[in-house]
Amino acid sequence: MALTIRTTVSPTAGFTLATPAQLQQKALERTDVTPGNFEVVGITLPRTQNDTSGLQTVTSNGFFHTTGGVFHLNLVQEVFISTALSPCNQTVVLQHERGHVRDNENLMPRMDAALRADEQFNLIMVQGMEFPVSQLDEVKETVKERIEAVFSRLTTERVKARDTLFEYKRMNAQMWAQCTGSTSKFLERGSVGHGVAEAQMALNGHLPPGAPPLQVDGIFGPQTQAATIDFQRRNGLKPDGIIGPDTRQKLGLPPV
């Protein structure tokens, strides 16, 4: 019976706050992250879980080996964001970390070929090399280590591709545009800055069921305008698409 490697992904929702020291330590513990001389503000930690209940094994004369079956790998991820950031800046960093989450999810279909190409995993799981029953725990640990090593190698490639100097400059520019500056009394199409980001987050908290959330980017574009008009209509306000004092009050935002 041939070996089938099945991969699945558990959904990743939200993030966990961590202190700068905790984030730095988590980065140091990963083989594919080099913190360098800067503060780590966000990190995504992927973990592969394996289920061997679908495998077929044979034990004879004190030896065992795998004869095939289904080997199930499941990806679980945790996202950590720094407590040193403002809520607005945390949103920007979270958008970046979600890119890492998607990268890792897209790697899972590659694990089949990558694991079969790994010499130790191939000998144990694919070719079914025999081992003494007394070494069962050691063999399981070796399989786990090879999975972690193979996935780490793949993620290292994607981390380097995403965490570029250009990307960090883009994030800093987005933080400046989205999270700094004073809020105008009237926000309308074409407005940018922290006030727009606050309004977008507030609008997302008042969306009707099933409506897609706005991207919190600090840019008052057509989608933000449409969401504003819809909110105004549902709350008895003039549907002009402009967030002034009355609309701010209904959204629960402080007066300007």
pLDDT in tens, 153-163: 999 889 888 88
pLDDT of residue 106: 97
Owning domain of residue 236: 181-251
Residue 172 within a domain:
no
Rounded to 5°, the CA angle 155-167-156 comes to 15
Asked if residue 192 and residue 155 are part of one domain, the reply reads no
pLDDT of residue 113: 97
Task: Give the residue from 15, 30, 254, 4 showing the smallest Cα distance to 126.
Answer: 4
Q: Would the pLDDT of 35 be above 70?
A: no
**132 vs 146: CA distance, rounded Å:** 20
Q: Which two tokens stand for residue 245?
A: 């004092």
Using pLDDT thresholds of 50, 70 and 90, give the confidence band for residue 203: very high
Asked if residue 185 and residue 158 are part of one domain, the reply reads no
The domain boundary, picked from 115, 136, 164, lies at 164
Q: Would the pLDDT of 136 be above 60?
A: yes
- Predicted structure pTM score: 0.72
Please, what is the average pLDDT of the chain? 90
The neighbour count for residue 22, using CB atoms within 10 Å, is 16
Residue 170 within a domain:
no
> Span 2-16, mean pLDDT?
93
State the total domains in the chain: 2
pLDDT in tens, 53-70: 999 999 999 999 999 999
**26 vs 47: CA distance, rounded Å:** 13
Asked if residue 232 and residue 151 are part of one domain, the reply reads no
The domain boundary, picked from 164, 196, 227, lies at 164
The domain boundary, picked from 164, 189, 223, lies at 164
